[in-house]
Amino acid sequence: MGALNEGHFNVELENRVNHLGGCIELGFEQEPETLAIEDAVKVLLQGLGEDVNREGLRKTPLRVAKALREGTRGYRQKVKDIVQGALFPEAGLESGIGHAGGVGGLVVVRDLDLFSYCESCLLPFQVKCHVGYVPSGQRVVGLSKLSRVADVFAKRLQEPQRLADEVCSALQLGIKPTGVAVVLQCLHIHFPNFESAFLDLNHQGWVKVLVTSGSGVFENEKADIWGDFLSLLKFRGIDVEKTHPRDAADKCWCPSQAISKVGPSNSGMTLAVASILQSLGEDPSRNELLGTPTRFVKWLMNFKNSNLEMKLNGFVFGQMDALISNGNVSHCDEHIHSELNLSFWSQCEHHLLPFHGVVHIGCICTEAINPIRKSFLQSIVHFHGFKLQVQERLTRQIAETASLLLGGDVMVVVEANHTCMISRGIEKFGSNTATVAVLGRFSTEPAARAKFFQSIPNSTTTGG
């Protein structure tokens, strides 16, 4: 009995040491809220049929907790702490007719890159923020403070119009200018569900919205000062004609809100998401958040662990038999056949955040063998994409499956945008990751690889 207890103690001690090591490695101080999020993430992983102790997932709960706490740090910040001490006297024009600097001149800061978590589905969305204000009382504010104030409200669960209004109101109260204007360009990822991905090959991967908010002299949207502000934005290519009037703001901008029937959900997973909301500092009973746990679980279940390869086996080997039945084709002319820009959608197993992009597949084939239909190669990509993944493994799995169909000489390039690159403190907007897998002769013939690379367009669409 003593030996059994000692063994159990050693296992528990090892688990706690490993957990502590993970905390030190990730540089994240453990807090009660963090531990609660970790426990909830374990429930979600188990609901997906995953082994939380397998390599690749053991530290996922801690990584997710860190990303969520970092991405919602605005709940723990106050605007007055940022603005205080950042107001400076600036007299502007001393005589004559006109405005400048501290006496009525317009000040604009453009192209502030922000991200926020959508309150309807908990997926991150990107924001390009433009702020203008008209100083009063000869007071101007340090320009970096405009970005920091906007970031405080972006780092909360949000929707576009409320985010614009909160930034505008906070700057009006903090700086006390003659007026403030805010324009937000928001980009929300639109994941297809597992079934529709196979049916809609032209799925649009993003929802875009542009919203405005104004106070003081900007409160009237037809005021001349708005014309000056928007003229400055036009220099940056912003289509101001697509702004949403305040009384017609799109209340269903999040793709998940367009789903009329959510259907049954795993109650344990739903409660786990509600626990995460509470740990982030939110009230799960707030009207806008009532359906969020169910919508998040429904989205997450697209990546439920299942043996999808079994569904492919019959077709794969049937295709191989058909290719072999064409007879001896070794004497035929060879060429490189390419299928480019196959879309994929996946879920990073390290942070439970989506990544997406395009896949390029090349094969060395002969004139006697007809290349496999693009639609079936697209299905292979989706089969491997709709699960918890890492890009390197996804690339290899697509290559190995495609090689069964295409004769073994296969090359695969995956180009991906990872939302974890913007939503966990790194904030590298626009970054893109490429991975390559080569099988058969592509691995030994540099000329073949070079020829395939040349077939890939210089600019590909990865969903942004």
What is the pTM (predicted TM-score) of this model? 0.81
Q: Amino acid identity of 157?
A: L
| Domains annotated on the chain, with CATH | 32-302 (3.30.1130.10), 308-320+332-455 (3.30.1130.10)
Model confidence over 322-371: pLDDT tens digits?
A: 443 443 333 345 788 899 999 999 999 999 999 999 999 999 986 655 56
Q: CB of 268 within 8 A of CB of 274? A: no
Q: What is the pLDDT of residue 79?
A: 84
Q: Where are the beta strands (DSSP E) in 14-106?
A: 87-89
H-only helix segments in 72-159 = 79-83, 143-154
- List C-alpha distances in Å: 134 to 9, 81, 100, 184, 270: 65, 22, 9, 18, 46
- List C-alpha distances in Å: 186 to 26, 206, 419: 30, 10, 14
Q: CB of 181 within 8 A of CB of 146? A: no
Q: What is the pLDDT of residue 318?
A: 46
The parts of the chain modelled with pLDDT lower than 50 are 1-17, 20-21, 23-28, 245-250, 260-262, 310, 314-332, 460-464
